[in-house]
Structure 1
Amino acid sequence: MRITLFLLGLLIFQSQAKPLSYYFSADIEFDQSITKPSEVLGYEVGEWHVRHDQLVNYLTLLAKQSPRMRISTIGHSHERRPLLLLAVTTANNQDKLEQIRQAHLSSLSTKTDRSTSPNIIWMGYSVHGNEPSGSNAALLLAYYLAAAQGDEINQLLENNVILLDPALNPDGLARFAHWANSNRGKTLSADPAHREHVEAWPSSRTNHYWFDLNRDWLLLQHPESKARVAQFHRWKPTVLTDFHEMGTNSSYFFQPGIPSRTHPITPTQNQTLTHQLAEYHAKALDKEKQLYFTQESFDDFYVGKGSTYPDINGAVGILFEQASSRGHVQESINGDLHFHRTIKNQLLTSLSTFQGVLEHKDTLQAYQQGFYLDALKLADKEDIKGYVVAKGNDSSRFESFIKLLQRHQIYAYDITKAIKVAGRTYQPGDIFVPLAQPQYRLVKAVFSTQTSFEDNTFYDVSGWTLPHAFDLNFAPIKSRWGLKTAEAQRKIKSNGRSGVLQEGAYAYAFSWDDYFAPKLLNQLLSAGIEARVALQSFSARTNQSEQTFSPGTVVIPAGVQSNASWQAILSETLASYAIEVFAIRSGLTAQGIDLGSRLMVPLKQPKVLLVGGEGTSQYEVGEMWYHLDRHLGIAPTIIEQRRLARANLARYTHIVMVDGNYRGLNKHAKAAILSWVKKGGVIWGHKRGAQWLVDQQLLNVETISKKEMRAQFDTQDMPFSAREELAAKQRIAGAIFNARADLSHPLAFGLDDEILPVFKNSTWVMKQNGAPFTSVLKYTSSPLLSGYADQRNVKQIAASSVLIADEYGKGIAIAMTDNPVFRGYWYGTSKLINNALFFADALK
């Protein structure tokens, strides 16, 4: 009896395994000397979720066995997993691969005949870790490319170099494989409520820092994206595929998306080609009787996504979305959805991509060639010639901006003579970014300040102007008359410090202007060095000359140091920073406060508790974690809401609450937090985190709820067909608003000027606070800078508060309506959270 039950269980278990004959047509012959996936994995593809290390092992083996393949490690993820890229073509082409690449790039700057040259196709899979059908399909696709025999595969490889990117998010893929496999039983459960199908917080969609890597193609904050975009420009493929998953009750989507939601910079022919390739996907899925749809739900507007970034870089980007089993099998409105079925659909459209690209090879190559060769002509027809960008007082922030432009192959040139544009004088050392360059369209996209759109419904953000994110003043320039620039492109300047720290000074001082000054300060404080912040300006005699120091200057007095080696530590630490440090001769200043003034406030190293867990936004917790860790060198303690009541809050100087639903905090946790603030703690909240501070009466401020904002719109007698249009008007889908700062306030120290662009994707509003000295940042009277927001929302937001800080007992509560560290690239507003961490005690 036991043997019978065991065999029955084994049959149930094995019934989910599908051999290669399930995935491939019987017409395809394979080289039997090439190892099959199951021979390395120990199971058939789709029976278990492949781990990233298994993927790496198998693809490495294939590259050794097949002369068609060359494998490269193009980088590593945050968790040091290798980022693989396989170049697949005929053995003959492999011998001249670099020559093929160089000839392809050359054809984009010189009109040459490409009809006999191989095309470049990029196949990318599973940028979201819990959308694993793509990476599992990549195993099968690699086997096909290595082992398939016959005229069809020979023609494909002779005419193409296929770049296979099997796992765009190795860390997320690894996390999800562990989750799905560890919750899988011998008898599979299709119940959507089963643990296998419901991930714990945070989900595996994201990378190590809980970022959505599909939004990072333009922003390039993470090693996965940096490596990938570098290789994209190294090869410049004509077609790039991007394989995803969506909700279980859906079917299969492939582009084109919604026609009216394509970025206007995208050439019309790009969409024509996308339509032509879609016919091949439809034919493949029709043959299998699989449901699918196009031209709805998804758009091609935000240029920082994996399927849209290629569109403004000369390629045709194609998004594929497969309904997800989120495990091994799950119930759906279309019947039980098996993991192996999701894999097969991704494989089918991978192969249909090959067929379509092969048959449209000449058209695709001609389109890409024209995209780049026409760039200068199109730029010449524009009303503007380019953009001037001011360096400001923060060299590190400026260099980071230039480095980002260079990663996208955008040319910038130093201005060599002062020029006045739109009422502002741009000086030598500022830069000019011309439109007349191969990346003409991308320049337009990253400097765009568009606020009016044909279709106001956005799948992602509607405004992403890069100089606004870096808080850099910029302006379009209509004529190059009077503009003098360097002939050579601007190069990145060294981050290292030059010069020797002068010993024997009364004190040392450095400006708070530099973006990495907080990281430097944190490193010094952690090494036991005592430091002060100047709340007012002063002038002091240094070894060079008399120097004026702004509020926010960090002063390190020699007389208060207790560590005998403090000067050596200071000198060694400073070597890693391009921050000028001044040696001050005397505590008596020529003007302003003296160095012993009570307005020289002692600083302490922040000890940050970051609230996370179920209910909080994993993206915003991750963005704050990333900022604290990578930009400040602070290791926050992340504690889930459910554990807060048991936490020893006395260990921490700061509590940070990002956007989220904080109903999970019980009365004991609330009481503990309020008591901790009263005793001297500093609490920061933004978006719904800020709302929680107001609800708990830590701050006395009037607000306008999201519900009240929605109520502005008259919905009486509105037809059902207008639902989506109404929702688009009621929300702010990521736009940039202008705000004005009180530069005398410690939370605004280090800003170049009082105008600060803020990224906004919430309609929650804090009204102006009448209490004195509490309002740090307010929206201007005409705040919309870039992106879409309905004028009814803009009117309510105008002149309202962005950032408020007030005392609560002996502590400080700080509320911000928006996320200051959005997606890791908002260098401007992130200075606000930096100041809250180091200078909030000065408000007491």
Structure 2
Amino acid sequence: MKPRIPLRVRTLALTLSAAALAVPLVNAPAEAAHTPLPRTGFETSNGARWTGQPEEQAFLAAVDRGSKRTSIGRIGTTKQGRPLQLVRIGAQHASHTVLLICSQHGDEPSGRDACLSTIRDLAYAKDRNTERLLARTRILVVPTANPDGRAANTRGNSDGVDINRDHIALKTAEGRATAAVIRDQRPDVIYDLHEYGATPPYYDKDLFDLWPRNLNTDAGVHRESQALSGQYVRPAAHHGGFSTGTYGIWTDPVTGDPIKQTAGDGQERILRNASGVKNAVGLLIESRVDPLTEEERADSSLNNRRRVGSQLSALGGLLSFTEERRDRLEATTTAARLSGFRDRGPVYLGGADNDPATPEETLQDPPCGYRLDAAQYADIKDELALHGVVSWPAGNDGAFVPLRQSQRELIPLLLDSRATYHLAPGQAITAC
């Protein structure tokens, strides 16, 4: 039996997919007949090229001027001086928040162009479903999470750093900006848009996705992340005519059975996992870069439109999930954030939801906190603050970081010497 596709999934997915084909929006306002809506460089070229950085700035400025639903702010600056921006759409004081992080890898542009046209579509939409969504939800978008990498068409930033491996250390301007947004805006959902290279016939879908695998993800957050994938994003993509699968898992093309895992572990420094550890529902989405047909090989614009179209179909599922499960989502993320104050249960320094942690990777009885000396605290206090971790002064300018707080499970990953990506080897304090 095929998964049920809710009506709102179909409505929103069809509205959003119009942008990928560079045709007029289904729900464009009447005044658009006299004043054309802003269009991206991708759209004006019908997919022949990706939107340039100056075009992005002009496009966002036009949307900001033309819609009362949107506001645009600067959240950082790259090493080469390009702006890192956050677009806010919808109810600015709503308690329910969704965050889109677009193209952390600069050579994966389809998610970025999908995000740009989605910003415009939401800003100008007049249909009842979208207006209802935006009346109760804040949608935040970082349209280009790696502007220097996008300008150079490189995976990493201008220093060659993969910013999707910097969500613990926070050494890059890009990683720090994202951490600050997560800390300050407290999103219920973090949706991370990427692309991948296919390996036929074992790894060859239009779209792959993956939820937080890190074992420190709250059980309710983990369930909602899997529901976002299996009940909304994948059915919406299928309705759009796109195939889907689980990121990082090769499958037998005949039986569909998994063969081996090649990516998608529980590393806490990856945004998908950092989202879960920080008590937000998370999902990674990956569209297929490689041409599917001889026509796409001969005409890159066809391939590009498919790549963006698949991202837009999946985004329709995300928006439907956001609206239909809003109350459940808020209850789940609130409970996860409060659970840290109970200070109970193990913390895992390794493993994943498909790879049980070993005894050596499990803090079955975690310490009540970690002591940092003055030098350690001076070195990492900014990163602790960006992560939203609370610390207390502790003599001679050092600090004590208690586990009894919202970010409980994150703290050992930052401060335990056994954690793979720890910032400093804090002294575990067992009696407080």
**Which category of TM-score, normalised to the shorter sequence, fits these structures?**
0.7 to 0.9
2:169 to 219, 242, 266: 219
1:254 to 209, 221, 224: 209
1:414 to 393, 402, 412: 393
TM-score by structure 1 length? 0.42
CA distance in 2, matches of 1:206, 1:75: 17
Q: Does the aligned pair in 1 maintain the 2:76–2:84 contact within 8 Å?
A: yes
- Structure number with larger C-alpha Rg: 1
2:168 matches 1:169: no
CA distance in 1, matches of 2:305, 2:70: 26
SS at match of 1:372: helix
Q: Does the aligned pair in 2 maintain the 1:325–1:342 contact within 8 Å?
A: no
2:256 matches 1:293: no
Q: Closer, same or farther in 2 for the Cα pair 1:271/1:40, shift >3 Å?
A: closer
Which residue in the other structure is 1:236 paired with? 186
Q: Report the aligned-residue RMSD.
A: 2.9
- Which AA in structure 2 matches 1:439? Q
CA distance in 1, matches of 2:414, 2:25: 49
2:352 matches 1:402: no
SS at match of 1:173: helix
SS at match of 1:163: strand
CA distance in 2, matches of 1:444, 1:128: 28
1:269-313, Cα deviation, whole Å (9 max, x unpaired) = 122101211121121121122121026344351122221211111
Which residue in the other structure is 2:219 paired with? 268
2:137 matches 1:160: yes
Which residue in the other structure is 1:442 paired with? 410
Q: Does the aligned pair in 2 maintain the 1:38–1:44 contact within 8 Å?
A: no
Q: Closer, same or farther in 2 for the Cα pair 1:231/1:83, shift >3 Å?
A: same
TM-score by structure 2 length? 0.79
2:368 matches 1:385: yes
Q: Does the aligned pair in 1 maintain the 2:20–2:308 contact within 8 Å?
A: no
1:239-282, Cα deviation, whole Å (9 max, x unpaired) = 0100001104432101237xxxx222111212210121112112
- Which AA in structure 1 matches 2:221? N
Deviation at 1:45, TM superposition (A): 4.9
SS at match of 1:307: helix
Deviation at 1:344, TM superposition (A): 0.8
CA distance in 2, matches of 1:21, 1:220: 34
Identity %: 23
Alignment of 1:428-577 (within 5 A): 428-448=396-416, 463-468=420-425, 474-480=426-432
Q: Does the aligned pair in 1 maintain the 2:22–2:43 contact within 8 Å?
A: no
Alignment of 1:46-445 (within 5 A): 46-89=47-90, 93=91, 97=92, 100=93, 117-176=94-153, 204-249=154-199, 250-251=204-205, 252-256=207-211, 262-278=213-229, 279-294=231-246, 296=249, 297=261, 298-299=263-264, 301-325=266-290, 338-379=303-344, 382-391=365-374, 395=375, 398-416=377-395, 428-445=396-413
1:626-654, Cα deviation, whole Å (9 max, x unpaired) = xxxxxxxxxxxxxxxxxxxxxxxxxxxxx
Which residue in the other structure is 1:521 paired with? none
Deviation at 1:235, TM superposition (A): 0.6
1:486-533, Cα deviation, whole Å (9 max, x unpaired) = xxxxxxxxxxxxxxxxxxxxxxxxxxxxxxxxxxxxxxxxxxxxxxxx
CA distance in 2, matches of 1:237, 1:42: 30
Q: Closer, same or farther in 2 for the Cα pair 1:387/1:118, shift >3 Å?
A: closer
- Which AA in structure 1 matches 2:88? A
CA distance in 2, matches of 1:439, 1:449: 18
Q: Closer, same or farther in 2 for the Cα pair 1:255/1:135, shift >3 Å?
A: same
CA distance in 1, matches of 2:73, 2:277: 26
Q: Does the aligned pair in 2 maintain the 1:45–1:136 contact within 8 Å?
A: no
- Which AA in structure 2 matches 1:134? G
SS at match of 1:439: coil
Deviation at 1:51, TM superposition (A): 1.0
Q: Does the aligned pair in 2 maintain the 1:84–1:166 contact within 8 Å?
A: yes
- Point out the more displaced range, 237-246 or 337-346: 337-346
- Which AA in structure 2 matches 1:269? G
Q: Does the aligned pair in 2 maintain the 1:63–1:71 contact within 8 Å?
A: yes
1:687-735, Cα deviation, whole Å (9 max, x unpaired) = xxxxxxxxxxxxxxxxxxxxxxxxxxxxxxxxxxxxxxxxxxxxxxxxx
- Which AA in structure 2 matches 1:435? L
Q: Does the aligned pair in 1 maintain the 2:390–2:405 contact within 8 Å?
A: yes
Which residue in the other structure is 1:639 paired with? none
Deviation at 1:342, TM superposition (A): 0.3
SS at match of 2:272: coil
CA distance in 2, matches of 1:321, 1:87: 24
Deviation at 1:364, TM superposition (A): 0.8
1:384-434, Cα deviation, whole Å (9 max, x unpaired) = 21112233xxx4x64122222122121222323xxxxxxxxxxx4332211
The structure richer in helix per residue is: 2
CA distance in 2, matches of 1:228, 1:237: 12
Q: Does the aligned pair in 2 maintain the 1:325–1:337 contact within 8 Å?
A: no
Which residue in the other structure is 1:761 paired with? none
Deviation at 1:365, TM superposition (A): 0.4
Q: How many residues align?
A: 374
- Which AA in structure 1 matches 2:411? V
